[in-house]
């Protein structure tokens, strides 16, 4: 196969490219330029897509002896990921830009361009596995290394995208990948992993949002409406947040308080006790299925954070909407986050959380079960 290896400049994508070459594929390395004003150097383990990263990717391609190109997708990344991120926070939701990048950039814009140029597939350094089912279809599964598993952020991929994707690292642990990179003579073997949000290199999400949305002073209120503090913009808060509230009036019982609701229209942040954070009913929009959509009510595992715990649940689909009922309550689930559904290690699909509640306050699941 002719394969585009997406090379970020890190150790994972470097080894992924090497493995695809070893497997006998015709491999071309591609680095995505996603920043319109790329910095020369990374800030430690924060950020990515710098000029340094592009250079690191090129050096790996030279070691492998494969062609290497830089594809400019900064405008598409700005429109589909960064602007979406800002709009979601402005609407009082908490988005996950990594899922949106995988959906819109790496497995849409990149894959579409690769196919248009005559390539058969795209390979990345994500920690996940693709397993071929008996009927020849491809399934997305968790990685062997659960500490590095990235199937959650790949839950937005559909069957057609999986059919043209490779994840060569899914059967390997991170220490083994670094050891392999060293054996291959890759300069990036000991390069630190990037983390946090790639386009907010200093990790200060609140400050970054203030620069783009401006300050909008408002009130922080208790659940009974009592004003207990002030803020510079409700968009900078997320459900479950405890730190950075700077409340002026402590709770009568001295218990800590958390953000339980963000009201963008009134620019108000509501705080309350930890008990108010527990939810076991989730409604999701923008459903994406890694294969056939669930038929009726199905038993699944539900995960609401990238490295969060998988909770036993039931779920059913209704067009582009998904209803999930967790077996136990989970705290700090915010609208805008994604819920990813699993059947064992297989990823069933995902949805963007639009509402949460307790099951006692919602309608019962349909009677049909499969």
Beta bridge partners of 26: 2
Rounded Cα–Cα distance for residues 54 and 72 (Å): 12
Q: For the chain, how many residues are written?
A: 370
HSE-up of residue 149 (Cα within 13 Å, Cβ side) = 23
Catalytic option among 49, 98, 101, 290: 101
As to burial, measured by CB atoms within 10 angstroms (0-12 exposed, 13-18 middle, 19+ buried), residue 175 is exposed
Rounded Cα–Cα distance for residues 311 and 300 (Å): 8
The tokens of 301 are what? 């595992």
> Which residues in 270-286 are b (16+ Cβ under 10 Å) and which e?
bbbeeebbebbbbbbee
With a CB cutoff of 8 Å and minimum separation 6, the contacts of 326 are 279, 280, 281, 282, 302, 311, 312, 313
Rounded Cα–Cα distance for residues 113 and 250 (Å): 55
Rounded Cα–Cα distance for residues 122 and 74 (Å): 19
Rounded Cα–Cα distance for residues 68 and 107 (Å): 19
98 is catalytic: no
Largest CA distance in the chain: 68
Catalytic option among 49, 98, 198, 290: 198
The residues that are catalytic are 101, 198
């Amino acid at each position: 196969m002719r394969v585009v290896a997406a090379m970020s400049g890190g150790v994972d994508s470097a080894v992924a490219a090497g493995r695809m070459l070893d497997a006998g594929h015709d491999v071309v390395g591609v680095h995505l330029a996603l920043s319109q004003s790329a910095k020369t150097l990374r800030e430690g383990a924060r950020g990515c897509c710098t000029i340094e990263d592009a250079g690191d990717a090129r050096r790996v391609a030279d070691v492998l002896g494969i062609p290497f190109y830089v594809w400019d997708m900064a405008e598409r990344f700005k429109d589909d990921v960064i602007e979406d991120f800002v709009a979601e926070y402005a609407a009082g939701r908490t988005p996950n830009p990594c899922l949106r990048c995988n959906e819109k950039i790496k497995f849409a814009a990149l894959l579409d361009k690769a196919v248009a140029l005559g390539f058969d597939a795209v390979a990345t350094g994500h920690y996940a596995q693709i397993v071929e089912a008996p009927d020849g279809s491809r399934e997305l599964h968790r990685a062997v290394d659960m500490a590095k598993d990235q199937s959650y952020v790949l839950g937005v991929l559909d069957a057609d995208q999986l059919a043209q994707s490779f994840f060569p690292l899914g059967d390997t642990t991170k220490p083994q990948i670094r050891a392999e990179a060293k054996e291959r003579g890759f300069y990036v073997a000991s390069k630190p992993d990037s983390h946090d949000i790639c386009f907010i290199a200093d990790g200060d999400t609140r400050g970054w949002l203030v620069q783009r949305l401006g300050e909008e002073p408002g009130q922080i209120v208790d659940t009974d409406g009592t004003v207990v503090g002030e803020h510079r913009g409700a968009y900078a808060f997320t459900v479950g947040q405890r730190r950075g509230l700077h409340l002026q009036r402590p709770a009568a019982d001295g218990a800590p308080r958390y953000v339980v609701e963000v009201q963008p229209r009134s620019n108000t942040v509501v705080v309350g006790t930890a008990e108010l954070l527990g939810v076991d009913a989730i409604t999701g929009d923008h459903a994406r299925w890694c294969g056939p959509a669930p038929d009726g009510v199905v038993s699944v595992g539900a995960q609401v954070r990238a490295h969060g715990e998988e909770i036993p649940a039931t779920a059913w689909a209704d067009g582009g909407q998904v209803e999930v009922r967790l077996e136990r309550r989970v705290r700090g689930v915010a609208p805008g986050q994604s819920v990813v559904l699993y059947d064992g290690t297989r990823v069933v699909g995902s949805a963007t959380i639009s509402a949460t509640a307790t099951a006692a306050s919602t309608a019962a699941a349909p009677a049909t079960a499969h």
